[in-house]
Amino acid sequence: MKKYFIIFFILFFILLINMYLKEDVNSVDDNKNNSEFRAVFISYIELNKYIKNKDVNTSKENIKLMISNIKSLGFNTVIVQIRSFSDAIYKSNIFPWSSTVSSYEGVDPGYDILDYFINICKLNNISLFGWINPYRVRSTVSSISEKNPAYKYIGTDFLYEGDGIFYNPSKQEVEDLIVEGVLEVVSNYDLDGILFDDYFYPNGDLDYLDYLKYLEVNEHISFEDYHLMIINKMVKRVHDVCFENDVLFGISPDGNIDNNYNKVFADVKNWLSSDLYVDFIMPQVYYGFYNETRAFKNVADEWNNLIKNDSIDLYIALAFYKVGQIDKYAKSGSNEWIDNNNIIMKEIIISRNLKYYDGFSLFRYDYLFDDGFYTSTTLLEIENMKKILF
């Protein structure tokens, strides 16, 4: 009898240990899920759709619904485009009210859009990152209002007029404008982060005369290095402003590393080797697994390996907008997003194994929540993604 009692006691003790270990593992998983950065982009296109030309109550209800939808899928962060065209969706003494939320540029929409977003996010325990296009001004010169700081530069080399209107990055006044604009918003609004996207130099020749003036009084550097220096100087100043106001700062560059150097002059290698420029990087790894020229895993690995500073977090931006669509630049892998319905899920799982990974983001809101954008695989893609988010 004593022998059976001892055996029973041992089995009971093992059961207790297993229960404890299981609870501990679940606790670790829960903590990982709670800490993982999970974001959805809300672009000016959504703002134009859900807020512009709506009465105040309707637009506020639409914001509530957007945040509720994002939370319902297990996300904890929203990235809102607060300045898309040298304008603002908040009360600013520098930039005019954005025409993406109002009838015309400079017209008060009736309430502070950003402030309301922040309040609703706080109620839902959702972080909010302000997304800014630092250099993009407008689509056409005629659409620039007198209230826009770019207005006084029309017809000068402070503005580049090509496929859109952009500020000339090499002008000190432009750099100051960008930095002061960030300082204004992080000082007055309780943001969790600021994100710049991949719009930097719109054209590699627009500042050639400025480059020649630089060489008159400085040591010789190449035209390409001059561009990199100009952008680095601005990025460092913005990071300093954000750091001083306890706000994270990061950039979402082109997933193709070469494009960052050959087209827009974003010095990502330098940024990721230092603590002077960014707190996080959010590369647009908008590729599938069978992309013939840039397969997802290879590109994600490249970005992870670029990080040389352990304090920098890697957030992978994923292309939910490609779900169910032909990926025309993927060559032999062009049908991958049509033939499969679990790509986003697999990309998140693989990204979680990267050393510097701390989360992911999806571009963009409407492709997740507006059935007018749904393809034959959208709902299945969402259901598969939810399996690893809950």
Tens digits of residue pLDDT in 67-106: 999 999 999 999 999 999 999 999 999 999 999 999 999 9
For the chain, list residues with pLDDT below 50. Answer: 1-33
32-37 CB contacts, 8 Å cutoff, 24+ apart: 33/74, 33/389, 33/390, 34/76, 36/76, 36/352, 36/358, 36/359, 36/360, 37/76, 37/77, 37/313, 37/315, 37/358, 37/359, 37/360, 37/361
- The DSSP secondary-structure symbol of 263 reads T
Q: State pTM to two decimals.
A: 0.91
pLDDT of residue 368: 98
CB 326 within 8 A of CB 338: yes
Quick one: pLDDT at residue 4?
45
CB of 364 closer than 8 Å to CB of 321: yes
Q: How many residues does the chain have?
A: 390
Output the pLDDT for position 362: 99
| DSSP bridge partners of 80 | 42, 130
Integer Cα distance of 183 and 225 in angstroms:
27
Which of helix, strand or coil describes residue 85? Answer: coil
Q: Which amino acid is at 76?
A: N
Quickly count: other Cβ atoms within 10 Å of residue 85's Cβ: 24
CA–CA gap between residue 54 and residue 380 (Å, rounded): 32
In this structure, the dihedral spanned by the alpha carbons of residues 158, 160, 161 and 163, taken in order and rounded to 10 degrees, is -150
pLDDT at residue 98, rounded to an integer: 98
pLDDT of residue 321: 98
75 neighbors 34 (Cβ within 8 angstroms): no
- Note whether 170 and 205 are within 8 A (CB): no
pLDDT at 24 (0 to 100): 37
Residues ≥6 apart with Cβ < 8 Å to 332: 290, 292
Q: How confident is the model at residue 34, as a pLDDT?
A: 59
User: In sequence order, what are the residues at sequence separation of 6 or more whose Cβ sits closer than 8 angstroms to the Cβ of residue 49?
Assistant: 366
Write the DSSP string, 322-382.
GTTS--TTSGGGTTHHHH-S-HHHHHHHHHTTSTTEEEEEES-HHHHH-GGG--TTHHHHH
Distance CA 268, CA 265 (A): 9
Q: Are 312 and 281 in contact (CB under 8 A)?
A: yes
Residue type, 180: E
Non-local (6+) Cβ contacts of 200 within 8 A are: 134, 135, 169, 231, 264, 265, 266
Report how far apart, in Å, the C-alpha atoms of 130 and of each of 69, 88, 204, 240, 251 are.
19, 11, 27, 16, 11
Q: In this structure, are residues 95 and 166 in contact, taking their beta carbons and an 8 Å threshold? A: no
Sign of the torsion angle spanned by Cα atoms 107, 113, 114, 119: positive
Gap between the Cα atoms of 228 and 233, Å rounded: 9
